[in-house]
Chain A
Amino acid sequence: MIQIRGLIKQYGLNPVLRGVDLHVPAGEFVTLVGPNGAGKSTLMRIVATLLKPTAGEVKIGGWLMPQNSGRVRRHIGLVSHQTLLYGDLTAAENLQFFAKLYRLDNSDDRVAEALKRVGLAARQRDAVRTFSRGMMQRLTLARATLHEPDVLLLDEPYTGLDQDASALLDDLLRRESAKGRTILMITHDLVHGLNLCDRVAILSRGKIAQEVASGEVTGAEFLDIYAAQTGRKAGMTKANG
Protein backbone atom coordinates (compact mmCIF):
# COMPACT_ATOMS: atom_id res chain seq x y z
CA MET A 1 0.00 0.00 0.00
CA ILE A 2 2.86 2.35 0.84
CA GLN A 3 5.93 2.03 -1.38
CA ILE A 4 8.92 4.24 -0.79
CA ARG A 5 12.03 3.95 -2.90
CA GLY A 6 15.20 6.03 -2.72
CA LEU A 7 13.40 8.84 -0.91
CA ILE A 8 15.52 11.90 -0.29
CA LYS A 9 14.41 14.99 1.60
CA GLN A 10 16.54 18.04 2.19
CA TYR A 11 15.64 21.11 4.19
CA GLY A 12 17.71 23.71 2.41
CA LEU A 13 21.12 22.09 2.25
CA ASN A 14 20.48 19.89 5.25
CA PRO A 15 19.78 16.30 4.15
CA VAL A 16 17.34 14.59 6.50
CA LEU A 17 16.31 11.53 4.50
CA ARG A 18 19.11 10.09 2.37
CA GLY A 19 17.54 7.29 0.40
CA VAL A 20 14.75 5.67 2.38
CA ASP A 21 13.35 2.36 1.10
CA LEU A 22 10.24 1.09 2.83
CA HIS A 23 7.37 -1.09 1.75
CA VAL A 24 4.21 -1.44 3.78
CA PRO A 25 1.84 -3.98 2.18
CA ALA A 26 -1.91 -3.47 2.48
CA GLY A 27 -3.24 -4.40 5.91
CA GLU A 28 0.13 -4.45 7.61
CA PHE A 29 0.95 -2.57 10.81
CA VAL A 30 4.46 -1.16 10.70
CA THR A 31 6.14 0.79 13.48
CA LEU A 32 8.84 3.30 12.66
CA VAL A 33 11.44 3.98 15.34
CA GLY A 34 14.62 6.00 15.45
CA PRO A 35 16.45 8.63 17.47
CA ASN A 36 15.19 12.22 17.81
CA GLY A 37 15.78 14.14 14.64
CA ALA A 38 16.22 11.01 12.51
CA GLY A 39 13.52 12.26 10.15
CA LYS A 40 10.60 10.07 11.18
CA SER A 41 8.08 12.88 11.22
CA THR A 42 9.48 14.20 7.96
CA LEU A 43 8.97 10.80 6.36
CA MET A 44 5.43 10.62 7.68
CA ARG A 45 4.57 14.13 6.48
CA ILE A 46 5.72 13.16 3.01
CA VAL A 47 3.53 10.05 3.04
CA ALA A 48 0.67 12.21 4.35
CA THR A 49 1.04 14.50 1.28
CA LEU A 50 1.94 17.47 3.48
CA LEU A 51 5.54 17.66 2.29
CA LYS A 52 7.09 17.13 -1.11
CA PRO A 53 10.10 14.83 -1.45
CA THR A 54 13.32 16.28 -2.82
CA ALA A 55 13.91 13.12 -4.84
CA GLY A 56 12.86 9.49 -4.91
CA GLU A 57 9.62 7.67 -5.35
CA VAL A 58 6.64 7.48 -3.02
CA LYS A 59 3.59 5.51 -4.06
CA ILE A 60 0.40 5.09 -2.10
CA GLY A 61 -2.11 2.54 -3.31
CA GLY A 62 -0.09 2.40 -6.51
CA TRP A 63 -0.39 6.14 -7.13
CA LEU A 64 2.79 8.11 -7.53
CA MET A 65 3.15 11.09 -5.21
CA PRO A 66 3.01 14.02 -5.13
CA GLN A 67 1.42 14.15 -8.61
CA ASN A 68 -1.57 12.12 -7.42
CA SER A 69 -1.79 13.40 -3.88
CA GLY A 70 -5.23 14.84 -4.61
CA ARG A 71 -6.43 11.32 -5.42
CA VAL A 72 -5.05 9.54 -2.39
CA ARG A 73 -5.88 12.11 0.29
CA ARG A 74 -9.34 10.62 0.78
CA HIS A 75 -7.70 7.34 1.76
CA ILE A 76 -5.28 8.69 4.34
CA GLY A 77 -5.89 9.35 8.01
CA LEU A 78 -3.30 11.21 10.08
CA VAL A 79 -2.68 11.43 13.81
CA SER A 80 0.25 13.80 14.18
CA HIS A 81 2.30 15.28 17.02
CA GLN A 82 -0.39 17.88 17.54
CA THR A 83 -4.06 17.06 17.96
CA LEU A 84 -5.22 18.90 14.79
CA LEU A 85 -8.41 19.71 16.71
CA TYR A 86 -10.08 23.09 17.21
CA GLY A 87 -10.04 23.83 20.92
CA ASP A 88 -12.98 26.23 20.69
CA LEU A 89 -15.26 23.72 18.98
CA THR A 90 -17.01 20.91 20.77
CA ALA A 91 -15.99 17.30 20.17
CA ALA A 92 -19.02 16.74 17.96
CA GLU A 93 -18.45 19.94 15.98
CA ASN A 94 -14.84 19.00 15.31
CA LEU A 95 -15.93 15.70 13.81
CA GLN A 96 -18.80 17.33 11.94
CA PHE A 97 -16.34 19.71 10.36
CA PHE A 98 -14.20 16.87 9.05
CA ALA A 99 -17.27 14.94 7.96
CA LYS A 100 -18.20 17.96 5.83
CA LEU A 101 -14.67 18.29 4.44
CA TYR A 102 -14.71 14.63 3.41
CA ARG A 103 -18.30 14.90 2.18
CA LEU A 104 -19.38 11.87 4.18
CA ASP A 105 -22.92 10.53 3.81
CA ASN A 106 -25.20 10.51 6.87
CA SER A 107 -22.50 12.36 8.74
CA ASP A 108 -24.58 12.77 11.91
CA ASP A 109 -24.74 9.02 12.42
CA ARG A 110 -21.07 8.59 11.64
CA VAL A 111 -20.06 11.29 14.08
CA ALA A 112 -22.24 9.83 16.82
CA GLU A 113 -20.89 6.36 16.13
CA ALA A 114 -17.28 7.57 16.15
CA LEU A 115 -17.75 9.40 19.44
CA LYS A 116 -19.21 6.27 20.97
CA ARG A 117 -16.39 4.13 19.65
CA VAL A 118 -13.78 6.22 21.45
CA GLY A 119 -15.89 6.62 24.58
CA LEU A 120 -16.59 10.33 24.28
CA ALA A 121 -20.34 10.33 23.61
CA ALA A 122 -21.06 11.84 27.02
CA ARG A 123 -18.67 14.74 26.43
CA GLN A 124 -19.60 15.52 22.84
CA ARG A 125 -21.03 18.95 23.63
CA ASP A 126 -17.97 20.12 25.56
CA ALA A 127 -15.30 22.31 24.05
CA VAL A 128 -12.22 20.26 23.18
CA ARG A 129 -10.14 22.83 25.07
CA THR A 130 -11.47 21.34 28.32
CA PHE A 131 -10.42 17.77 27.46
CA SER A 132 -7.60 15.83 29.06
CA ARG A 133 -4.69 14.68 26.92
CA GLY A 134 -6.09 11.16 26.77
CA MET A 135 -9.52 12.33 25.68
CA MET A 136 -8.01 14.56 23.02
CA GLN A 137 -5.94 11.71 21.71
CA ARG A 138 -8.99 9.47 21.43
CA LEU A 139 -10.89 12.23 19.65
CA THR A 140 -7.91 12.70 17.35
CA LEU A 141 -8.09 9.03 16.44
CA ALA A 142 -11.83 9.34 15.85
CA ARG A 143 -11.14 12.30 13.54
CA ALA A 144 -8.39 10.46 11.67
CA THR A 145 -10.57 7.39 11.05
CA LEU A 146 -13.93 9.11 10.50
CA HIS A 147 -13.68 8.67 6.73
CA GLU A 148 -12.56 5.03 7.02
CA PRO A 149 -9.12 5.57 5.49
CA ASP A 150 -7.18 2.65 4.04
CA VAL A 151 -3.95 4.08 5.39
CA LEU A 152 -3.60 5.28 8.96
CA LEU A 153 -0.53 7.32 9.90
CA LEU A 154 0.29 7.91 13.56
CA ASP A 155 3.11 10.13 14.81
CA GLU A 156 3.83 9.37 18.48
CA PRO A 157 0.20 8.85 19.47
CA TYR A 158 1.21 7.70 22.95
CA THR A 159 2.89 10.94 24.00
CA GLY A 160 1.55 12.14 27.32
CA LEU A 161 -0.80 9.24 27.96
CA ASP A 162 -0.96 7.42 31.29
CA GLN A 163 -1.20 3.64 31.51
CA ASP A 164 -4.97 3.43 31.30
CA ALA A 165 -5.12 5.80 28.37
CA SER A 166 -2.32 3.89 26.64
CA ALA A 167 -4.12 0.60 27.13
CA LEU A 168 -7.27 2.16 25.70
CA LEU A 169 -5.35 3.44 22.68
CA ASP A 170 -3.75 -0.01 22.23
CA ASP A 171 -7.20 -1.45 22.10
CA LEU A 172 -8.43 1.13 19.59
CA LEU A 173 -5.39 0.64 17.35
CA ARG A 174 -5.73 -3.14 17.40
CA ARG A 175 -9.32 -2.73 16.30
CA GLU A 176 -8.33 -0.36 13.50
CA SER A 177 -5.68 -2.84 12.41
CA ALA A 178 -8.19 -5.69 12.50
CA LYS A 179 -10.39 -3.71 10.10
CA GLY A 180 -7.63 -4.22 7.54
CA ARG A 181 -6.19 -0.74 7.58
CA THR A 182 -2.56 -0.27 6.65
CA ILE A 183 -0.92 1.40 9.63
CA LEU A 184 2.37 3.24 9.90
CA MET A 185 3.14 4.42 13.42
CA ILE A 186 6.04 6.34 14.94
CA THR A 187 6.88 5.70 18.56
CA HIS A 188 9.76 6.02 21.01
CA ASP A 189 8.54 3.16 23.16
CA LEU A 190 10.47 0.43 21.38
CA VAL A 191 9.15 -2.68 23.10
CA HIS A 192 5.58 -1.44 23.13
CA GLY A 193 5.83 -0.59 19.44
CA LEU A 194 7.29 -4.01 18.70
CA ASN A 195 4.50 -5.83 20.50
CA LEU A 196 1.72 -3.88 18.89
CA CYS A 197 2.73 -4.17 15.26
CA ASP A 198 3.68 -6.72 12.60
CA ARG A 199 7.04 -5.22 11.78
CA VAL A 200 9.38 -2.51 13.05
CA ALA A 201 11.56 -0.38 10.81
CA ILE A 202 14.52 1.44 12.32
CA LEU A 203 15.28 4.82 10.76
CA SER A 204 18.80 5.98 11.42
CA ARG A 205 21.14 8.39 9.62
CA GLY A 206 18.53 9.09 6.98
CA LYS A 207 17.95 5.48 5.95
CA ILE A 208 15.99 2.45 7.05
CA ALA A 209 18.81 0.66 8.85
CA GLN A 210 16.96 -2.55 9.57
CA GLU A 211 13.49 -4.10 9.58
CA VAL A 212 12.45 -6.60 12.21
CA ALA A 213 9.33 -8.78 12.19
CA SER A 214 7.74 -8.60 15.61
CA GLY A 215 7.42 -12.38 16.08
CA GLU A 216 11.09 -13.01 15.44
CA VAL A 217 12.72 -11.26 18.35
CA THR A 218 12.11 -10.66 22.04
CA GLY A 219 11.93 -7.18 23.47
CA ALA A 220 15.44 -7.40 24.91
CA GLU A 221 16.89 -8.63 21.64
CA PHE A 222 15.21 -5.80 19.81
CA LEU A 223 16.67 -3.22 22.17
CA ASP A 224 20.13 -4.60 21.36
CA ILE A 225 19.45 -4.45 17.63
CA TYR A 226 18.22 -0.89 18.00
CA ALA A 227 21.26 0.14 20.01
CA ALA A 228 23.57 -1.38 17.41
CA GLN A 229 21.82 0.32 14.53
CA THR A 230 21.56 3.75 16.07
CA GLY A 231 24.75 3.71 18.10
CA ARG A 232 22.88 4.59 21.26
CA LYS A 233 22.38 2.84 24.53
CA ALA A 234 19.05 1.06 24.49
CA GLY A 235 18.35 2.00 28.09
CA MET A 236 18.16 5.66 27.13
CA THR A 237 15.52 5.09 24.53
CA LYS A 238 12.98 3.31 26.67
CA ALA A 239 11.64 6.50 28.19
CA ASN A 240 8.26 7.67 26.98
CA GLY A 241 6.24 6.89 23.87
Chain B
Amino acid sequence: MDKVDTAVSAPSSSGNQFVTAVWAIVWKDLQIEKHTRQTVSLMVMFSLVTVVMFNFALETELDAARNVATGLLWATILLAGTLGLNRSLAIERENQNIDAVLIAPIDRRAVYLAKVISVTIFTLLLEVVLVFVFVIFFNKPFWQPVVLLVLFLGTIGYVAAGVLITSMTMQTRAREVLLPILLMPLVLPLILPAATAVGEMMTVQPDMSIIRSMVSLVAAYDLVILATGLFTYHLVVES
Protein backbone atom coordinates (compact mmCIF):
# COMPACT_ATOMS: atom_id res chain seq x y z
CA MET B 1 0.00 0.00 0.00
CA ASP B 2 1.63 3.21 -1.15
CA LYS B 3 1.28 6.14 1.15
CA VAL B 4 -0.39 9.25 -0.07
CA ASP B 5 2.79 11.23 -0.45
CA THR B 6 1.42 14.69 -1.18
CA ALA B 7 -0.19 14.58 2.24
CA VAL B 8 2.87 15.95 3.94
CA SER B 9 4.30 17.92 1.04
CA ALA B 10 2.45 21.18 1.58
CA PRO B 11 3.96 22.52 4.77
CA SER B 12 3.53 26.22 4.01
CA SER B 13 3.52 28.14 7.25
CA SER B 14 0.85 26.68 9.48
CA GLY B 15 0.00 30.03 11.05
CA ASN B 16 -0.92 31.36 7.64
CA GLN B 17 -3.00 28.26 7.04
CA PHE B 18 -4.89 28.87 10.27
CA VAL B 19 -5.69 32.46 9.35
CA THR B 20 -6.89 31.43 5.89
CA ALA B 21 -9.26 28.88 7.40
CA VAL B 22 -10.64 31.37 9.93
CA TRP B 23 -11.12 33.95 7.24
CA ALA B 24 -12.84 31.45 4.90
CA ILE B 25 -15.48 30.65 7.52
CA VAL B 26 -15.97 34.27 8.58
CA TRP B 27 -16.27 35.26 4.90
CA LYS B 28 -18.91 32.58 4.42
CA ASP B 29 -20.94 33.75 7.44
CA LEU B 30 -20.77 37.39 6.33
CA GLN B 31 -21.76 36.40 2.81
CA ILE B 32 -24.82 34.56 4.12
CA GLU B 33 -25.73 37.56 6.25
CA LYS B 34 -25.30 39.83 3.25
CA HIS B 35 -27.82 37.74 1.31
CA THR B 36 -30.39 37.14 4.04
CA ARG B 37 -29.84 40.00 6.53
CA GLN B 38 -31.55 37.73 9.00
CA THR B 39 -29.29 37.55 12.03
CA VAL B 40 -28.69 41.22 12.70
CA SER B 41 -32.21 42.34 11.84
CA LEU B 42 -33.69 39.63 14.06
CA MET B 43 -31.48 40.66 16.96
CA VAL B 44 -32.23 44.37 16.48
CA MET B 45 -35.96 43.81 16.21
CA PHE B 46 -36.01 41.65 19.32
CA SER B 47 -34.00 44.22 21.25
CA LEU B 48 -36.17 47.14 20.23
CA VAL B 49 -39.29 45.34 21.35
CA THR B 50 -37.69 44.51 24.67
CA VAL B 51 -36.53 48.06 25.29
CA VAL B 52 -39.84 49.64 24.32
CA MET B 53 -41.77 47.23 26.51
CA PHE B 54 -39.58 47.93 29.49
CA ASN B 55 -39.89 51.61 28.84
CA PHE B 56 -43.66 51.40 29.02
CA ALA B 57 -43.53 49.30 32.13
CA LEU B 58 -41.30 51.79 33.88
CA GLU B 59 -42.71 54.95 32.35
CA THR B 60 -44.34 56.19 35.52
CA GLU B 61 -40.96 56.35 37.17
CA LEU B 62 -38.45 57.70 34.74
CA ASP B 63 -35.73 57.79 37.34
CA ALA B 64 -36.21 54.14 38.05
CA ALA B 65 -35.96 53.43 34.36
CA ARG B 66 -32.71 55.33 34.17
CA ASN B 67 -31.27 53.40 37.03
CA VAL B 68 -32.08 50.04 35.52
CA ALA B 69 -30.87 51.12 32.08
CA THR B 70 -27.46 49.48 32.48
CA GLY B 71 -28.97 46.20 33.57
CA LEU B 72 -31.52 46.37 30.80
CA LEU B 73 -28.79 47.00 28.23
CA TRP B 74 -26.89 43.89 29.24
CA ALA B 75 -30.01 41.76 29.57
CA THR B 76 -31.04 42.78 26.06
CA ILE B 77 -27.60 41.99 24.67
CA LEU B 78 -27.54 38.59 26.37
CA LEU B 79 -30.96 37.57 25.12
CA ALA B 80 -30.47 38.92 21.62
CA GLY B 81 -27.06 37.26 21.66
CA THR B 82 -28.59 33.83 22.12
CA LEU B 83 -30.64 34.50 19.01
CA GLY B 84 -27.46 35.22 17.08
CA LEU B 85 -25.77 32.13 18.47
CA ASN B 86 -28.70 29.87 17.64
CA ARG B 87 -28.92 31.27 14.15
CA SER B 88 -25.20 30.83 13.58
CA LEU B 89 -25.55 27.21 14.62
CA ALA B 90 -28.67 26.68 12.53
CA ILE B 91 -26.68 27.66 9.44
CA GLU B 92 -24.23 24.83 10.08
CA ARG B 93 -26.97 22.35 10.92
CA GLU B 94 -29.21 23.14 7.99
CA ASN B 95 -27.82 20.47 5.70
CA GLN B 96 -25.38 19.05 8.24
CA ASN B 97 -22.92 21.50 6.63
CA ILE B 98 -20.64 21.32 9.63
CA ASP B 99 -19.57 17.86 8.39
CA ALA B 100 -18.15 19.39 5.24
CA VAL B 101 -16.23 21.89 7.35
CA LEU B 102 -14.99 19.21 9.73
CA ILE B 103 -13.62 16.93 7.01
CA ALA B 104 -11.74 19.81 5.44
CA PRO B 105 -8.01 19.81 6.14
CA ILE B 106 -8.18 22.60 8.68
CA ASP B 107 -7.48 23.02 12.36
CA ARG B 108 -10.66 22.58 14.42
CA ARG B 109 -9.68 25.63 16.44
CA ALA B 110 -10.12 27.73 13.31
CA VAL B 111 -13.77 26.72 13.20
CA TYR B 112 -14.27 27.82 16.79
CA LEU B 113 -12.46 31.11 16.38
CA ALA B 114 -14.26 31.91 13.13
CA LYS B 115 -17.66 31.30 14.68
CA VAL B 116 -16.73 33.54 17.61
CA ILE B 117 -15.62 36.28 15.24
CA SER B 118 -18.69 36.25 13.05
CA VAL B 119 -21.20 36.16 15.91
CA THR B 120 -19.21 38.90 17.66
CA ILE B 121 -19.43 41.06 14.54
CA PHE B 122 -23.20 40.61 14.39
CA THR B 123 -23.60 41.34 18.10
CA LEU B 124 -21.43 44.46 17.87
CA LEU B 125 -23.59 45.73 15.02
CA LEU B 126 -26.60 45.24 17.26
CA GLU B 127 -24.87 47.14 20.03
CA VAL B 128 -24.23 50.13 17.79
CA VAL B 129 -27.99 50.40 17.36
CA LEU B 130 -28.63 49.71 21.05
CA VAL B 131 -26.26 52.43 22.23
CA PHE B 132 -28.13 54.98 20.11
CA VAL B 133 -31.47 53.77 21.38
CA PHE B 134 -30.37 53.79 25.01
CA VAL B 135 -28.90 57.27 24.76
CA ILE B 136 -32.18 58.54 23.32
CA PHE B 137 -34.55 56.60 25.59
CA PHE B 138 -32.70 56.93 28.86
CA ASN B 139 -30.60 60.02 28.28
CA LYS B 140 -27.50 58.44 29.76
CA PRO B 141 -23.94 58.68 28.39
CA PHE B 142 -23.68 55.17 26.91
CA TRP B 143 -21.54 56.55 24.09
CA GLN B 144 -18.47 57.05 26.28
CA PRO B 145 -15.35 55.23 25.02
CA VAL B 146 -14.99 53.31 28.28
CA VAL B 147 -18.53 52.00 27.96
CA LEU B 148 -17.90 51.01 24.37
CA LEU B 149 -14.72 49.23 25.41
CA VAL B 150 -16.56 47.27 28.10
CA LEU B 151 -19.30 46.37 25.61
CA PHE B 152 -16.68 45.21 23.14
CA LEU B 153 -14.77 43.07 25.64
CA GLY B 154 -17.94 41.75 27.24
CA THR B 155 -19.31 40.71 23.86
CA ILE B 156 -16.19 38.74 22.98
CA GLY B 157 -16.33 36.77 26.23
CA TYR B 158 -20.03 36.19 25.98
CA VAL B 159 -19.90 34.95 22.41
CA ALA B 160 -16.79 32.83 23.08
CA ALA B 161 -18.67 31.06 25.87
CA GLY B 162 -21.80 30.86 23.74
CA VAL B 163 -20.14 29.21 20.75
CA LEU B 164 -18.63 26.60 23.06
CA ILE B 165 -22.02 25.83 24.61
CA THR B 166 -23.86 25.75 21.27
CA SER B 167 -21.37 23.24 19.91
CA MET B 168 -21.92 21.07 22.97
CA THR B 169 -25.70 21.19 22.75
CA MET B 170 -25.73 20.99 18.95
CA GLN B 171 -26.72 17.33 18.84
CA THR B 172 -29.35 17.50 21.57
CA ARG B 173 -32.97 18.03 20.81
CA ALA B 174 -33.65 20.84 23.29
CA ARG B 175 -30.65 22.88 22.13
CA GLU B 176 -32.47 26.23 21.77
CA VAL B 177 -33.70 25.98 25.35
CA LEU B 178 -30.50 24.51 26.74
CA LEU B 179 -28.36 27.31 25.41
CA PRO B 180 -29.56 30.09 27.73
CA ILE B 181 -29.90 27.68 30.67
CA LEU B 182 -26.27 26.63 30.43
CA LEU B 183 -24.86 29.87 29.13
CA MET B 184 -26.25 32.39 31.62
CA PRO B 185 -24.60 30.87 34.71
CA LEU B 186 -21.36 30.45 32.78
CA VAL B 187 -21.19 34.14 31.85
CA LEU B 188 -22.20 35.46 35.25
CA PRO B 189 -18.54 36.13 36.21
CA LEU B 190 -18.29 38.17 33.01
CA ILE B 191 -21.53 40.10 33.12
CA LEU B 192 -21.30 41.16 36.78
CA PRO B 193 -18.07 43.16 36.37
CA ALA B 194 -19.10 44.38 32.92
CA ALA B 195 -22.41 45.69 34.23
CA THR B 196 -20.73 47.18 37.28
CA ALA B 197 -18.25 49.04 35.07
CA VAL B 198 -20.94 50.43 32.79
CA GLY B 199 -23.11 51.32 35.79
CA GLU B 200 -20.21 53.19 37.38
CA MET B 201 -19.73 55.19 34.18
CA MET B 202 -23.35 56.35 34.44
CA THR B 203 -22.75 58.03 37.81
CA VAL B 204 -21.89 61.70 38.02
CA GLN B 205 -18.36 61.06 39.19
CA PRO B 206 -17.24 57.61 38.11
CA ASP B 207 -14.63 55.96 40.31
CA MET B 208 -11.92 55.08 37.80
CA SER B 209 -10.22 52.55 40.07
CA ILE B 210 -13.41 50.48 40.25
CA ILE B 211 -13.78 50.65 36.51
CA ARG B 212 -10.17 49.66 35.95
CA SER B 213 -10.44 46.57 38.09
CA MET B 214 -13.79 45.61 36.54
CA VAL B 215 -12.39 45.94 33.04
CA SER B 216 -9.44 43.74 33.95
CA LEU B 217 -11.85 41.12 35.26
CA VAL B 218 -13.73 41.20 31.97
CA ALA B 219 -10.52 40.95 29.95
CA ALA B 220 -9.29 38.07 32.12
CA TYR B 221 -12.56 36.23 31.57
CA ASP B 222 -12.17 36.72 27.81
CA LEU B 223 -8.72 35.19 27.84
CA VAL B 224 -9.73 32.23 29.98
CA ILE B 225 -12.85 31.39 28.01
CA LEU B 226 -11.16 31.81 24.62
CA ALA B 227 -8.32 29.56 25.71
CA THR B 228 -10.81 26.99 27.01
CA GLY B 229 -12.73 27.11 23.76
CA LEU B 230 -9.65 26.78 21.60
CA PHE B 231 -8.31 23.84 23.56
CA THR B 232 -11.52 21.89 24.00
CA TYR B 233 -13.46 22.56 20.81
CA HIS B 234 -12.09 19.54 18.97
CA LEU B 235 -13.22 17.32 21.85
CA VAL B 236 -16.65 18.87 21.71
CA VAL B 237 -17.24 18.31 17.99
CA GLU B 238 -15.71 14.83 17.73
CA SER B 239 -17.45 11.61 18.59
By a beta-carbon cutoff of 8 Å, the part of chain A in contact with chain B is 1, 3, 26, 48-52, 59-63, 70-76, 78, 80-89, 93, 97-98, 100-103, 127, 143, 150
A93 and B31 contact, CB distance less than 8 A:
yes
- B28 to chain A: which residues have CB within 8 Å? 86, 89, 93, 97
Decide if B7 touches A97 in the complex (CB within 8 Å).
Answer: no
Chain B residues with a Cβ closer than 8 Å to the other chain, count: 35
B91 at the interface (CB under 8 A from A): yes
Cα-based distance from A88 to B31 in the complex (angstroms)? 9
Q: Which residues of A contact B238 (CB under 8 A)?
A: 52
**Interchain CB contact under 8 A, B95 and A85:** yes
Within the complex, the shortest CB–CB distance from A44 to chain B, in Å, comes to: 11
Number of A-B contacts (CB under 8 A): 103
B208: interface (CB < 8 Å) = no
How many angstroms from the CA of A217 to the CA of B94 in the assembled complex?
41
Known: A84-B97, A84-B100, A86-B94. A100 touches B3 (CB 8 A): no
Is the Cβ of B3 less than 8 Å from the Cβ of A63?
yes
Interface residue? B52 (CB, 8 A): no
Binary A-proximity of B119-162 (CB < 8 A = 1, otherwise 0):
00000000000000000000000000000000000000000000
Most buried by B among A49, A73, A86: A86
CB distance from B114 to the nearest CB of A (A): 10
Q: Is the CB of B20 within 8 A of A100?
A: yes
Q: Of the candidates A48, A72, A100, A101, which one forms a contact with B4 in the assembled complex, judged by CB atoms under 8 Å apart?
A: A72
Q: Given A51-B239, A97-B27, are A87 and B104 also a contact pair (CB < 8 Å)?
A: no
Q: What residues of B have a CB within 8 angstroms of the CB of A74 in the complex?
A: 6-7, 10, 105
Which A residues are CB-close (under 8 A) to B1?
A: 1, 3, 59, 61-62
Residue among B3, B7, B32, B106 facing the most chain A CB atoms (10 A cut-off)? B7
A93 to B28: give the CA distance in the assembly, Å.
8
State whether B100 touches A143 (Cβ < 8 A).
yes
A63's partner among B7, B21, B102 (CB-CB below 8 A) is B7
Set of chain B residues within 8 Å of A98, measured between Cβ atoms: 100, 104
Are B7 and A71 in contact (CB-based, < 8 A)? yes
11 contacts between A and B (CB under 8 A): A26-B2, A48-B99, A49-B103, A51-B239, A61-B1, A62-B1, A63-B4, A72-B7, A83-B95, A100-B27, A101-B21
CA distance A60 to B103 in the complex (A): 14
- Is there contact, CB below 8 Å, between A61 and B239? no
Tell me the nearest residue of chain B to A62, going by C-beta.
B3
CB of B1 to closest CB in A, whole Å? 5
> What is the CA–CA distance of A194 and B165 in the complex, to the nearest angstrom?
45
Judged by a CB distance under 8 angstroms, whether B17 is at the interface is yes
State whether the Cβ of B46 lies closer than 8 Å to any Cβ in chain A: no
A80/B31 in contact, CB under 8 A: no
Q: Which residues of B contact A26 (CB under 8 A)?
A: 2
B24 touches A101 (CB 8 A): yes
Contact of A73 among B2, B27, B31, B103 (CB under 8 A): B103
- By a CB distance below 8 angstroms, the chain B residues around A143 are 100
Known: A51-B239, A86-B97. 13 other contacts (CB 8 A): A50-B103, A61-B3, A72-B7, A75-B6, A76-B103, A78-B99, A82-B99, A83-B95, A86-B32, A88-B32, A89-B31, A100-B20, A101-B24
Residue B8 CB within 8 A of the other chain? yes
